[in-house]
Amino acid sequence: NSTVYVRDLQKIYPSAKGDVQAMKDVNINVMENEFVSIVGPSGCGKSTLLRMIGGLDTATSGKIVIQDRDIIGPGADRGMVFQSYTLFPWMTVGDNIKFGLKLRKMPADQQEEILNKYLKIIKLEKFRDSYPRELSGGMKQRVAIARALANSPEVLLMDEPFSALDPQTKADMQLLMRQIWQEEKPTVIFVTHDIEEAVFLSSKIYVLTQRPGTVKAEVPVLLPYD
């Protein structure tokens, strides 16, 4: 069974100047431990699709099921990472990563264990007491990824997470993301307009058409490290 199951999704944004149909008939299936990318031209509805799966926006029709539950609003079962850093600026790196665990009132020693594990994965052990403003863009994105993964989400939703980074940092982040996926096997839905990035990272790619976006192709990717 799929972890994320999207059926006949349609999104129409009402507007005074006429409705905008952002997507129609979108069907996707994401299996456990898959790394799925969504690619397509600008404006085809990639962000909209991810926001709906994240529960930040509602579909006009169709359905989204995560592990057999119809989703209603956002939830800790879905971790989200956006293009621009959404860390809490008044919290240290450590407190940012532990945020969801604190909300769940997890015992402090377990929080520490999880924090240390992810600080190590993102190679920021020395920065646990730093504030976001002291970090580079790539480092902030690493913290955002750690914060999302620390909650053990059923699916990690990533919207152009590396698009704002310089080319070298972007390449480093892609390598790190691939390493995380090989080691931890999170289920990921990754939105990007960068087809090379999608091929490098994914086990499957959905290609959407121009707006209104619909699935044009579902492409399995043979990973060199399978």
**Closer of 18 and 107 to ligand ADP (Cβ):** 18
Are residues 121 and 113 in contact, defined by beta-carbon separation less than 8 angstroms?
A: no
**Closer of 45 and 79 to ligand ADP (Cβ):** 45
**Closer of 1 and 168 to ligand ADP (Cβ):** 1
Sheet holding 69-70, edge to edge: 20-30, 4-13, 61-66, 69-70
Q: How far is the CB of 94 from ligand ADP (least distance, A)?
A: 32
Q: How far is the CB of 79 from ligand ADP (least distance, A)?
A: 19
Alpha-carbon separation of residue 28 from 47, 53, 139, 143 (angstroms): 15, 11, 32, 29
From first CA to last CA, the distance across the chain in angstroms is: 21
Give 211's DSSP letter. Answer: S
Q: How far is the CB of 209 from ligand ADP (least distance, A)?
A: 11
Which neighbouring-strand residues pair with 12?
21
Q: How far is the CB of 174 from ligand ADP (least distance, A)?
A: 19
**Closer of 68 and 109 to ligand ADP (Cβ):** 68
Interface with ligand ADP (CB under 6 A): 1-2, 5, 13, 15, 20, 22, 29, 40, 42-48, 65, 68, 211
